[in-house]
A = this chain, B = another copy of it.
């Protein structure tokens, strides 16, 4: 077995080739990688079958679904690589240019970060997505997947490395950590000087471990306790459509709504509409009804589960919605400040002043007016792709695309200039 440390040393050897590869070469590498993925579909599905076999019985059904691959999912991974290959090269752009009166030319130029490590869990497709975006941004990629997905991810990485070699880029540009114990995650977090950016993609426990222990630069991603606030001046039909979309279109993702706040002036009208649409109509249509967890004021208006301790601080990722009645937009803003994870929060209102106050005061990566929180996504935001959604404020906030995987340096050209 290759140790994690040796793998990180091997990754260093690929830095320069990748950093200087140029857009066309990197795109060609991604196309080769996609072809090899497709060519190895059978191997990948066989490896995934072993992972599934081992996981069955030890994992809930929803987790098994995240782990499972099939031909369509492998095709989708290859498609994702081709899409990334079509994006503009983020490296070498002149971001700013200053010419001083004495002729000294100062350019701020985008450069790759270097080595980007990604710790993730059981979704094998993250392997291909992350590799595509790091390579396209000129970064070396070190992947560390969950134990339960290791055979699948390893088969994917073998295919990707064949593609890299075919395109004349070092195979060390993409590697998968062989040690899937907690030790290797800890080792990545503290590999100062060998890792330029660590992106943890996973549950709150992993993110917290990174924040507490990482000595390498790290970006927090993902946890989304997203709010929709229905204002006194809301168009209630719009509000209902937005809440339904934000909660039920895909409850398992981080930009799904978890908490609904309703202004007391419209609660008597809106909450019965909500219950009809999310509970009764869905049940009648044979869809899974949403469980409403109500604070006392909401429970006085409609039936539902009494919200328990922590229900306003939980990422349900399920057909569950915590509901509270608030006095006004200020109370909504305060509630969000106290409970939001800084991912995506929305106001529904026709009142421009309330919208302005909300967008200014809510300190989240994406703040919405009259739209669903579900739009927080690299593709929807025009980045073309996404490496995760940053919920921190340093470096990158919100969806991280190719540009967010870059740094910059100043290149200064003179002719004997001294100060």
Contact = CB atoms under 8 A, between A and B. Distances in A.
Interface size class on chain A is 35 or more
A238 B416 CA distance: 5
Interface in A90-144: 98, 100, 104, 106, 111, 113-114
A282 interface: no
A281 to B, nearest CB: 16
Nearest to A375: B419
B367 A409 contact: yes
Interface string A370-408: 111011100011100000000011110110000000011
A182 interface: no
Interface string A1-30: 000000000000000100110000000000
Interface string A203-218: 0000000011001010
A78 interface: no
A412 interface: yes
A223 interface: no
Given A113-B394, A211-B192, A382-B98, A368 B409 contact: no
Nearest to A245: B418
Nearest to A355: B413
Interface of A: 16, 19-20, 98, 100, 104, 106, 111, 113-114, 192, 196-197, 211-212, 215, 217, 219, 235, 237-238, 241-242, 244-246, 249, 355, 359-361, 363-372, 374-376, 380-382, 392-395, 397-398, 407-419
